Amino acid sequence: MINQIVEHATDQSATLQHATEAAAEHGESGVGFILHHILAHPVIHLPTIYGVDFSITNHVIMMWIISAVLVLSFGIAFRKPSLVPRGLANALESLVLYIRDDVILPTLGHNARAYAPYLLTAFFFIMLCNLAGLVPYGATATGNIAVTGTMAIMTFIVVQVAGVRKHGVLGYLKMFSPPGVPFLLQFIMVPVEVISMITKHFALAIRLFANMIAGHITILALMSIIFIFKNWLIAPFPLAIILFSSLLEILIALIQAYVFTILSAVFISASLASEH
Amino acid sequence: MELMTPSGGTIFWTTVTFVILLLLLGKFAWRPILAMLDERESRIRESLQQAEKARIAAQQTLAEQDQILEAARKEAQEFLAKSRKSAEITKEEIIKKAGTEAEALITKARREIEMSRDKAMEDIRDLAVELSMNATAQLIGKSLDAKDHQALIDDSLTKLGKLN
């Protein structure tokens, strides 16, 4: 693990030369270097249609790699599912079991079976996207607001579908006006409920995005200290803190995947609930 | 700021990637895994229930066996006591019978002895009469008539009676 982090650090210092060039572009040296490192770069240029740039960025490539890894590892491990798993199947199963037993079943209960596939996919996808940013040459796709926004929209769609499937369209819309509230107050309550429905998913996107990007910004900023001081002797101090931050980032990567999954499960169960 | 503006292309690609991933994993991972987990859980639950059943059955069998054993022990004890009692009775009977038999034998023997003695007495008496008769005949040289005989016999008898 330490090796990995050191490599990560060296990888990042290698891009520092890059940063000086980027600094010229962006004007301010530190911010430019950090932004250059965090933002997505197009790898394969594709045409822009109706103002949407369909270029494949490094974040998209990372998502593809992660998806391939997930499909391959699960496909190989569970080609013939056995009641007594071994090896890779055992390792993957322990994670699946953890999410199923500690996240999905307690919040969704008997509805778990229908929504488990989405929640499990979201968990593994986000977890690997988060961790991929800590791997040398990796990029954090979940440090991209477009990616986390899409994930939040997915949860939003699942939540709406769950509510409509459970209560019907009208029944579901009725849930936005809480019962037992005076009629006039409904003019306030309904917008509040609608806004709350949107903000909680918006927060889902921002939470994941900000958590992922904050760690990187911290590490890169600490790295910049060495170059601001232009002194070798100062290096051990930022490096020590970078090591610590990198370890913390591993923790945060796992926690945020877990948080996203459990919040999605909670939102789904809220829209499945008969009364608010 | 570029950092906070979501790019439409990335949204598109993320959606495509995630939906495909969801479908693939749903088919190849979650369905078999969740089915397997359910099956394993039901298998474990069944096994536990079966074990519980088996335990109860074993306990019942054990209790039954204990009961049977207890009954057998009781029976054996009763049998033993009964046979001991009957043996005691038989013993006493045998002893009693032996006692009476011995008594009978003794009386019979005694009677026989008495009879033999009486007979011997008679024989001796007869012999004595004959002997004395012979001796007298020889002594007197003449034969005595029946009257004399009788007188002599009576005489001898009284003498013998005195001897006796």
For chain A, the residue count is: 276
* Three-state DSSP class for residue A46: coil
Gap between the Cα atoms of A96 and A85, Å rounded: 13
- pLDDT band for position A27 (50/70/90)? very low
Gap between the Cα atoms of A216 and A252, Å rounded: 12
Give yes or no for residue A9 having a pLDDT over 70.
Answer: no
Query: How many domains does chain B divide into?
Result: 1
Question: Which site among A28, A78, A79, A80 would you substitute to test the B interface, given the most B Cβ atoms closer than 10 Å to its Cβ?
Answer: A78
Question: Which site among B3, B4, B10, B20 would you substitute to test the A interface, given the most A Cβ atoms closer than 10 Å to its Cβ?
Answer: B10
Which residues of chain B are modeled with pLDDT < 70? 1, 141-145, 163-164
Establish if B9 belongs to a structural domain.
no
**In this complex, do A71 and B22 lie within 8 Å of one another by their Cβ atoms?**
no
Query: How many domains does chain A divide into?
Result: 1
Establish if B1 belongs to a structural domain.
no
**Cβ pair B9, A53 in contact under 8 A:** yes
When pLDDT is averaged across residues A89-97 and rounded to a whole number, the result is 84
pTM: 0.69
Distance of CA A213 to the CA centre of its chain: 10
Q: Does B47 lie at the interface with A, CB-CB under 8 angstroms?
A: no
Establish if B113 belongs to a structural domain.
yes
Strand pairing category for A52-53 and A56-57: unpaired
Residue entry with tokens 């990888």: A11
Tell me which residue range forms the domain holding B101: 34-163
Residue A111 burial (CB count, 10 A): 18
**Cβ pair A173, A124 in contact under 8 A:** no
Q: Which residues of A touch B34 (CB under 8 A)?
A: 100, 113, 116
**Portion of chain A with pLDDT greater than 70, in percent:** 88
| Residues sharing a CB contact under 8 Å with residue A172, sequence separation 6 or more, in sequence order | A160, A163, A164, A166, A271
**In this complex, do B34 and A113 lie within 8 Å of one another by their Cβ atoms?**
yes
When pLDDT is averaged across residues A11-29 and rounded to a whole number, the result is 50
Q: Residue B106's pLDDT is what?
A: 93
Closest chain A CA to residue B12: A54
Establish if B19 belongs to a structural domain.
no
**In this complex, do B17 and A213 lie within 8 Å of one another by their Cβ atoms?**
no
When pLDDT is averaged across residues A13-42 and rounded to a whole number, the result is 61
Burial status of residue A42 (CB atoms within 10 A of its CB: 0-12, 13-18, 19 or more)? middle
Tell me which residue range forms the domain holding A178: 2-272
